[in-house]
Every structure is written in C-alpha cells, then in structure tokens.
Amino acid sequence: MTAVTAGTAESTGAPGGSDAAVAAEQAAYEAVFDAAVAADERIEPRDWMPEAYRASLVRQIAQHAHSEIIGMQPEANWITRAPSLRRKAILMAKVQDEAGHGLYLYSAAETLGTSRDELLDKLHSGRQKYSSIFNYPTLTWADVGAIGWLVDGAAITNQVPLCRCSYGPYARAMVRVCKEESFHQRQGYEALLALSRGTEAQHAMAQDAVDRWWWPSLMMFGPPDAESTHTAQAMAWKIKRHSNDELRQRFVDIAVPQAEALGLTLPDPDLRWNEERGHYDFGPIDWTEFWDVLKGNGPCNDQRLSKRRQAHEDGAWVREAAAAYAEKHTGTHGEAQA
C-alpha cells in the first residue's frame, strides 16, 4: 500500500468539510489509486476507484461475459450433429466451459456493484454488446474447428494479458478462464487437421471455414489503435496491457505458420514475412463490415439475441419456482431444509 503525503492526509482530516476539502479528499483518493496502479498493485472491490474506472471495467467485463454465453450458440449448433462420439464429448465440454466462463465473469462484474440481472437485461435489450464474431454463422462442421483455432486463438491472445489486469477479481477470473481454455484452441486445431488430412470433401470444408473465419478473427482485436476510443485510458489504468494493433500482429505472426502446418491457406494475398519488421505484413481489413456487424447488421445478430432472450424468458418460471421453494423451506435466507 502506498501512503499519501502527510499534507494531503491532513486536509482530509476534518469530517464533513467544505467543498474544497471534499475536492482535496477526492484528489487524495485518486492519488492513492494512481499510485497503486502505477506500482502494479491490484485494485480490489472495496477499494476506492474512480467512477470512470468502475464504469469502464463493468462495460468490459460484461461484454466479455456476454460474449461467453452468446458464444455458446454457434458451437452448440453442432453438438447434436458432431460426427463422432469423441468430437461430441469434446464439443459439449467446451460449450459447458463457456457457460462456466460466463459465470466467472458475471461474478467479477458483480463485485463492482452491478447485478447479473442488470447485466443480462442490458444484453437482452441491446444496450451492452458482445463480441461481433458470434454474429457469424457456423455453416459446416469445419466451422467448429475454425472457431477453436482462430476465434479462441484470437481470444487467448487478448485474454492472457488480462490475467495481469489491474482489477483483482477480473484478473483472477481470467487466470481461471485461460487455464481452462488451453484445450479449446488445441481441439479446434486438431479437428481442422483431421479434416485437412481427410477426404477431398473434408479438406474443402476445412479450407472454406478458414476462408470465412480468418478476417472476422482479425477484427476481434477491435478497431485500429488510431480509431479506438477506449484503448488509451484502459491502458493507463492497466485494464488493458497491449494495444489492439499490437495484439492483432502477435496473432497473425502465430497463426501463419500454424496454417502452413495445417495444409490450409489464409485468404490474404498480401500476407508475407517482412524481414525488416520481423513480422508478417497483412492486407487491409474491411472495417466497413466490422462496423456494420457491430451495428446489428451481421448475419446472425437478431438470431443470437432472440435465442438468448427466449431461453431467459422460458426459464423465468423455473427460477421463480426455485425462489418460491427456498422462501417456503428456509428459516432465514438461504438455509434449505428439504
């Protein structure tokens, strides 16, 4: 814990002081907060934090949680049709993890004083976003592989630095998420490899999926740094550790050799190694598509949200029943005696 200077501490001494005293107190809190962030300490739920920091975290964690649960849909789409029992088990476990990760993240958001109900409401009414990637359809089995390899790959690139995020509960949730997700990308890659090395039809299915998922995966890192509204502040607060473009480049550099090993091509004629930069150059991203999908015009925006709303509405009577039962059978709140 970093101590404030003696002078500042004195000025906060008088309770219920003047406006000037309140302002000074505020400044002192802020100084302590800034010092803690600068010293790479974690901010914990009961600590004082700037309102904008809190709001920014709630926005980001909620969006992350929503992405996990909406992200169940495109993959759950293939659970009942998985082509082998082994693949079915893997996919079920993966989709289950996503529900679990949603839960960890909603928990983290709740430590900031926002209830899960409130967050779900905002998701259902479209006031909070989820990752646009899930507004693309899973048209073939190979899409499940492509999501694992590319979408989870991009997500992991984004998420690993979040394990060191300045907000303790978010960082801890991310440690758990990252640990559990390590199998997600590998299973996707393995599924694609089996297709790529399989029959001609399977290979074509894999290539088609990679062709469709490559660019949307690059968009997952968000708009270019120059146009990103939240990046600078989020980095100052150490909510975010690397810029969008930095992470995107890191992902491309990792993915290119992986694609070669798969025997699949990436749909970008400009993709080539740049000796000077020590990175792969890649072609321009179609940001019009990104903003279009973000605004709600993607292929599956309506479908994803209405399925989510439907599940929530269909489940209302179940949640009410359990609450009513608890009410009847508990002395105090919680202790069931069934």
Partner 1 sequence: MSTPTTHEAAAFAGAALALGDDALVLSQRLGEWAGAAPVLEEEVALANIALDLLGQARVLLSLAGDEDELAFLREERSFRNVQLVEQPNGDFAHTIARQLYFSTYQRLLYGQLAAGDGPFSGLAAKAVKEVAYHQDHAEHWTLRLGDGTAESHDRMQRACDALWRYTGELFQPVDGLDLDHEALESAWLASVTDVLGRATITLPSGPRTGAWAAGAGRQGLHTESFGRMLAEMQHLHRSHPGATW
Partner 2 sequence: MTSDGWPLWEVFVRSRRGLSHTHAGSLHAPDAEMALRNARDLYTRRSEGVSIWVVPSTAITASSPDEKDPFFEPAADKPYRHPTFYEIPEGVKHL
Q: Does 107 contact partner 2 by CB under 8 A?
A: yes
Sequence-distant (6+) residues with CB within 8 A of 239 are 53, 56, 57, 60, 165, 166, 167, 170
By CB under 8 A, the residues from 162 to 221 that bind partner 2 are: 172-173, 176, 180
* First-residue to last-residue Cα distance in the chain: 47
CA pair distance 220, 156, nearest whole angstrom: 11
Residue type, 87: R
Given the complex with partner 1, which of 14 and 89 has the nearer CB atom? 89
Q: How many CB atoms lie within 10 A of CB 329?
A: 11
* Least distance from partner 2 to the Cβ atom of residue 121, Å: 11
Rg (CA), the chain: 23
Applying CB under 8 A, the span of 153-161, 173-181, 288-296, 307-315 interacting with partner 1 comes to 307-315
Q: Does 314 contact partner 1 by CB under 8 A?
A: yes
List of E strands, the chain = 272-274, 279-281
CA pair distance 43, 36, nearest whole angstrom: 7
> 212 and 192 in contact (C-beta within 8 Å)?
no
Q: Does 337 contact partner 1 by CB under 8 A?
A: no
Applying CB under 8 A, among 56, 63, 73, 249 the residue interacting with partner 1 is: 73
Q: Select from partner 2, partner 1, none the partner in contact with residue 73, using the beta carbon and a kind-dependent cut-off of 5 to 8 Å.
A: partner 1
* Least distance from partner 2 to the Cβ atom of residue 87, Å: 19
Applying CB under 8 A, among 36, 49, 69, 112 the residue interacting with partner 1 is: 69
CA pair distance 232, 316, nearest whole angstrom: 41
Q: Which residues bind partner 1 (CB under 8 A)?
A: 69, 72-73, 76, 79-89, 92-93, 95-96, 99-100, 102-103, 106, 141, 191, 194-195, 198-199, 201-202, 307, 310-311, 314-326, 328-329, 338
